[in-house]
Amino acid sequence: MRLFTALWPVPEAIEDLAAAVSGLEPERVAEATDGLRKFRFTPSERWHLTLRFHGDDADQRQIAGDLDRRLRHLRADPPRLRLAGAGAFRGVLWVGVEPAAAADGEALRALVRAAGGDPRGFQGHLTIARWAGGHADRESLAGLLAGYAGPWWAAREVSVVASDLREGGPRYATVHRAPVTRGWSGRTVR
């Protein structure tokens, strides 16, 4: 089973970004994506920040248990974040994640560590579009949402998610939730 640990933005943050994406001028999107094959925006219900990708053969119980154990020792308050800016790399258009203050950035890195990831290589982002191939100007692509800045929100929970790859895109199922608060206890979703 393919698993990853994710931070899901609050509904208000997703709704704000979805409104910004749906408000993009079709001509501007067509110009920025000219030369790309199968460019498509991902559905907003899939928008998340991957804290750690665990792979296809990951042990769900161990990942959940390790996450719970690591989060129990967090000393930071939940990070205050917003979705802001944009970028592109091979096959992906993304919106970035901006911490409200230095302590929020450290709290986000602590969540990456709790998920078993390396915060030194972590670049928080939310994938909003994908394409299958071709060439386009990455600056033009990122320019579609480069000035975007959404509302501030506090991280509420970290989730272990199973991803089932299917035609038409992956299907996600949350298999474990862990609230991001001091003195929390995780729970497995059945």
Print the SS3 string covering the chain: CEEEEEECCCHHHHHHHHHHHHCCCHHHHHHHHCCEECCEECCHHHCCEEEEEEECCCCHHHHHHHHHHHHHCCCCCCCEEEEEEEEEECCEEEEEEEECCHHHHHHHHHHHHHCCCCHHHCCCEEEEEECCEECCCHHHHHHCCCCCECCCEECCEEEEEEEECCCCCCEEEEEEEEECCCCCCCEECC
176 catalytic per annotation: no
125 catalytic per annotation: yes
Unique residue bearing structure tokens 């509420």: 156
What is the number of other CB atoms lying within 10 angstroms of the CB of residue 74? 18
- Are the C-beta atoms of 113 and 119 separated by less than 8 Å? yes
Unique residue bearing structure tokens 């690591």: 70
Query: Which one of the listed residues 73, 125, 135, 176 is annotated catalytic?
Result: 125
d(Cα 49, Cα 51) in Å, to the nearest integer?
Answer: 6
Active site residue ranges: 48, 125
